[in-house]
Amino acid sequence: MASRFDSKTYVLNQFNALASKYFPQEYMRVNSGKKGYRLSDGTQNLIEKAKTIVNRAEESRETIPHSTTNIYKYGVVFQKIFEDLSQFQALTSVKSRSRRGYRKELEFMGFDLKKIELELKKSSNPPVKSQKDEKYVRDIKKQYIQMVVDGEFQNLKSDIEEKKSLFILENSVGYKFFDIQTRLVTSITQKFDQLRRLKDEKEKIINSQETFRTKIKEISPQIPKYKEIIHIQKKALGIYERTDKK
């Protein structure tokens, strides 16, 4: 039995095949509903993150990874397309086999793929310096090795957090690298904090011991005096006489 033709699935498959040439396939999600097609919230949020990073880097003149600039470059185009989707749609027709075996032509509204690809090809690079993710990571490794040698762990931790935020694709080389570094540095700083606490505790104990020694030295000369006072008081109370009688 011939399966029922799903025009929405067909349209989305065509679009995704084209979009994957410009945008990471696993991050491009398009939802379809009564109001038509739209970019998913996840895809929109990812593009907005890229726009924020690029705008910030433009002001600070910071170099950012290529994976992020690529999301920006084509992400803004996809946003533009879906904001005015009627300009990028066209009637599509396909031949489909009916349940009785007859071939018929179906016509429905789909994406104008040629127009969309032309728009994507016209997209310009963002106004910032970018570097391939692999080279970015190689260069930063050299800096981090020196920071570890110099014992600059707090500065290292801060720099890792800052650099990690520039990589928005979780499967990118940079994101994975900085994710590992975050865990390693966190573990190291925790051990340093624990060592610092132990040293402080040791110092307190040593100080306490010294205080007790000083007190003992102050008290020791007075012990014979108080022993004599106690002896005199016991004698005055007749304790020794009662003991002798027993």
Is residue 102 over pLDDT 60?
Answer: no
Residues 6 or more apart whose Cβ sits within 8 Å of residue 19: 25, 28, 78
**Beta carbons of 169 and 24 less than 8 angstroms apart:** yes
pLDDT number for residue 241: 53
Query: What does pTM read for this prediction?
Result: 0.72
pLDDT number for residue 196: 80
- Asked which of 3-12, 204-213, 231-240 is least confident by mean pLDDT, the reply is 231-240
Is residue 1 over pLDDT 50?
Answer: no
Average pLDDT over residues 88-103: 69
H helix or E strand, kind and range, residue 202: helix 173-219
How confident is the prediction for the chain on average, in pLDDT? 84
Report CA dihedral (222, 227, 233, 236) to the nearest 10 degrees.
Answer: -130
Is residue 242 over pLDDT 60?
Answer: no
pLDDT tens per residue, range 205-232: 888 887 777 777 777 787 777 677 777 7
H helix or E strand, kind and range, residue 109: strand 103-111
